[in-house]
Amino acid sequence: MPIMDYLERNRREYGDEVALIELNPEQKETRRVTWKEYSLIQQTEDEPYRREITWRVFDEKANRMANMLLSRGVKRGDKVAILMMNCLEWLPIYMGILKTGALAVPFNFRYSADEIQYCADLAEVDVLVFGPEFIGRIESIVEKLSKNRLLIFVGETCPTFAESYRELVADCSSAKPDIEIKDEDDAAIYFSSGTTGFPKAILHKHLSLMTAATVEQHHHGQGRDDCFLCIPPLYHTGAKMHWMGSLVAGSKAVLLKGTKPQYIFDAVSREHCTIVWLLVPWAQDILDALDAGTLKMEDYELSQWRLMHIGAQPVPPSLIKRWRAYFPNHQYDTNYGLSESIGPGCVHLGVENIHKVGAIGVPGYGWECKIIDENGNPVKQGDAGELCVKGNGVMTCYYRNPEATAEVLHDGWLLTGDVAMQDEDGFIFLVDRKKDVIVSGGENLYPVQIEDFLRQHDKISDVAVIGLPDKRLGEIAGAVIQIKEGMECTEEEIEEFCNGLPRYKRPRKIIFADVPRNPTGKIEKPALRKRYSVERLVAQENEG
């Protein structure tokens, strides 16, 4: 069955209950505004801008979107891209696209104009739905972008080169379109993070989306009384697939615009959130604010918060140790996944396995895993190799890229490109990205291991370890270190701290700088390697 069936069930059974809330702490709401089908709650100047919709309105909005697209000639198999910041309209638009039999194609909101054009062409997009933040980028490429494409603007003042979403859907039927959707039908195209160049287009079927929804609900047990706080961008599989656990349960979710610790605590407190999915930097910021006393737990109602889980990147055990000191009663979980495996959950720690913090877990609900060597053979338990996963959430292919598809799909198994090992209890530990492994003087160095060690230093806020060129060793480990705000640190302090590492694992180059991360929290290591490798090569030439 398609996931839209859950939305329609929720409309029937919980129609008048709140489904989605949008909170924007940086925008204050001081008056009541009435939009057709939207309910805005009266606020004071000290409260954040807040909108909410019920399950009935959610489904009606999705149906209107679907019927509008159908009236404009959109048909099964067409592609409709979404380029919007998180907002109350995002998910109804996404579900409406799916109801037509067309494919939803979410775009990264950080894409440049060139990347928007590239992805629209690669995915053969027929319609682009975009928000006000992207007018300038769209306008700069509109002559090429608008050829044979419908551009739909979601916002107050529609630019002349687009059509208004609000006007287009105003008179459309709110009845369900009469279109049959099957599990094997194509549903969505997502894009890889593009850390090795322009992103690849990842094709998924409706079966993948349903797999993500059922896996998420099975792992975290969302019930009718839960409330999920969603902060990461909805264009990414992670945030949306975690929300789908709420869809299955018929429970509400809050879309929070802003990542400051105070915003997160205030949202949890005001909306009585029970489940929060964080990225590592945001959890780190919360702990640092609590340590500094700028955030005080007693100022908020947090007793209902039952689960904190993290994904999108390796989680330092030291962070969870600190978190548990402040929140001893929290359930904790981490999920591993890729856009190619429809996001989080193909490997899953489980709230009952907090004693295994540091591991990414065991095969998720309905998933299989194995670790192989360079010849494709399973490695011995305890040895490092490439992690492979298999299940109903594996992508169909890289769209229009059979060569790249053949590299990673083997007999239903997805080769993840991540180096992992399995301990004696069957728990999988992520060692590093295959492409990030540093070969220094014939020794393999795994940056994640060095980063986990460095994060234990009380002055370090964030760290990225990368390979830098070296005439003698081929590569050396360089540590890009971001110091906590208001603190000072020297290379000598870091070098002395690193005496706790085996000599061959110690970083040979210390760089104090900010650590760049993409919207899903992953360190942008290719950018760091490019920048600092050039600097080192120039320095070596000058020395030579």
Q: Within its chain, how far is the Cα of 452 from the centroid?
A: 21
Of residues 487 and 110, more confidently modeled: 487
> Which of the two residues, 250 and 384, has the higher pLDDT score?
250
Pairwise CA distance, residues 238 & 390, whole Å = 18
Is 286 contained in some domain? no
pLDDT confidence bin for 205, thresholds 50/70/90: very high
> How many domains is the chain built from?
3
pLDDT value for 36: 39
Whether residue 184 is found in the same domain as residue 209 = yes
The residues with which 128 forms a beta bridge, in sequence order, are: 81, 151
- Same domain for 139 and 176: yes
CATH code assigned at 351: 2.30.38.10
Check residue 63 and give its pLDDT: 98
Contact 323, 308 (CB under 8 A): yes
Which pLDDT band holds residue 30 (cuts at 50, 70, 90)? very low
The pLDDT-based confidence of 311 (bands split at 50, 70, 90) is: confident
Query: Is 523's pLDDT higher than 90?
Result: no
341 pLDDT more than 70: yes
Residues 396 and 492 grouped into a single domain: no
- pLDDT of the residue at 248: 97
Could you give the CA distance from residue 276 to residue 305 in angstroms, rounded to a whole number?
Answer: 8
As a whole number of angstroms, the distance between CA 109 and CA 115 comes to 10
Pair (415, 490) in one structural domain = no
91 pLDDT more than 90: yes
CA 79 to chain centre: 22
Return left, alpha or beta for 469; rule: phi > 0 is left, psi -120 to 50 is alpha, else beta: beta
Are residues 109 and 211 located together in one domain of the fold?
A: yes
pLDDT tier at 45 (50, 70, 90 boundaries)? very low
- On average, the pLDDT of the chain sits at 90
The pLDDT score that the predictor gives to residue 17 is 97
pLDDT value at 336 more than 80: yes
Tell me, yes or no, whether 283 lies in a domain.
no
Tokens matching residue 208:
């993948």
pLDDT digits (tens, 9 = 90+) for 68-81: 999 999 999 999 99
Last residue within a domain, chosen from 433, 454, 473: 433
Q: What three-state secondary structure class fits 361?
A: strand
Cβ atoms < 10 Å from Cβ of 432: 22
Domain that holds residue 330: 306-433
pLDDT at 193: 67
The answer on pLDDT for 544 being more than 90 is: no
pLDDT at 172: 97
pLDDT of residue 192: 83
Q: Which residues pair with 517 in a beta bridge?
A: 523
Residue 542: pLDDT band (50, 70, 90) is: low
Q: What is this structure's pTM?
A: 0.82
Rounded to whole angstroms, the Cα distance separating 189 from 81 reads 9
Tell me which amino acid residue 163 is.
E
The CATH number assigned to the domain holding 29 equals 3.40.50.12780
Name 224's Cβ contacts closer than 8 Å, sequence gap at least 6. 14, 249, 250, 251
At residue 42 the predicted structure's pLDDT band, cuts being 50, 70 and 90, is very low
How many whole angstroms separate alpha carbon 60 and alpha carbon 506? 58
Question: Does residue 510 sit in the same domain as residue 373?
Answer: no
What distances in angstroms separate CA 120 from CA 3, 108, 357, one per listed residue? 25, 12, 40
Domain boundary among 375, 407, 433: 433
Same domain, 84 and 193: yes
Q: Name 428's bridge partners.
A: 361, 422
**pLDDT band, residue 539 (cuts 50/70/90):** low
pLDDT score of 283 more than 60 = yes
Compute CA distances 393 → 137, 157, 222, whole Å. 33, 39, 20
Residue 265 located in a structural domain: no
pLDDT beyond 90 at 409: yes
Q: Tally Cβ neighbours within 10 Å of residue 210.
A: 22
What is the pLDDT at residue 419? Answer: 86
Q: Are residues 231 and 134 in the same domain?
A: yes
Helix (H, G, I), strand (E, B) or coil at 495: helix
**Predicted confidence (pLDDT) per residue in 225-235, tens digit:** 999 999 989 99
**CA 190 remoteness from chain centre:** 12
Measured in whole angstroms, the distance separating CA 505 from the mean position of its chain's CA atoms is 30
- The pLDDT confidence band at residue 110, using thresholds 50, 70 and 90, is confident
Q: Indicate the SS3 state at residue 362.
A: strand
* pLDDT tens-digit series, residues 141-171: 999 998 889 999 999 999 999 999 999 999 9
pLDDT digits (tens, 9 = 90+) for 361-399: 999 999 999 999 989 999 999 998 999 999 999 999 999
Please list the helix, strand and coil fractions of the chain in percent, rounded to the nearest 5, in that order: 35, 30, 35
Residue type, 514: D
Q: What is residue 377's DSSP assignment? A: P
180 pLDDT more than 50: yes
Residue 269 placed within a domain: no
User: How far, in Å, CA of 534 to CA of 291, rounded?
Assistant: 38
Q: Which of 433, 450, 475 is the last residue of a domain?
A: 433
Q: Would you say residue 285 lies in a domain?
A: no
Mark whether 323 and 342 lie in a shared domain.
yes
The tally of CA atoms less than 13 A away on the side-chain side of residue 229 is 31
Shared-domain flag, residues 170 and 60: yes
Question: Letter for the amino acid at 90?
Answer: W
Rounded to whole angstroms, the Cα distance separating 319 from 314 reads: 11
Amino acid (1-letter code) at residue 130: F
Look at residue 31 and tell me if it is in a domain. yes
> Is 502 or 330 the better-scoring residue by pLDDT?
330
Residue type, 502: P
Residue type at position 310: I
Q: Is the pLDDT confidence value at 449 over 60?
A: yes
- Strands 331-338 and 307-310: what pairing? parallel
Here the tokens at position 439 are 């070969």
Q: Which residue has the tokens 């909306």?
A: 271
Q: Could you read off the pLDDT of 459-480 as tens digits, one per residue?
A: 998 999 988 888 767 788 999 9
Residue 294 in domain: no
Q: How far apart are CA 240 and CA 244, in angstroms?
A: 6
If you count DSSP H runs as helices and E runs as strands, how many of each does the chain have, helices first? 16, 28
Residue 421 and residue 445 share a domain: no
- pLDDT, residue 437, reads 77
CATH number of domain containing 493: 3.30.300.30
Q: How far apart are the first and last CA of the chain?
A: 66
Q: How far is CA 48 from the centre of its chain?
A: 24
In a domain, 267, yes or no: no
Percent of the chain past pLDDT 70, that is, above it, reads 91
**Does 100 share its domain with 230?**
yes
> Closest by alpha carbon to 86, among 137, 55, 121, 49?
49
DSSP string, 328-339: TT-EEEEEEEEG
Q: What's the rounded Cα separation, in Å, for the pair 98 and 101?
A: 5
- In which band, very low, low, confident or very high, does the pLDDT at 322 lie, cut at 50, 70 and 90? very high
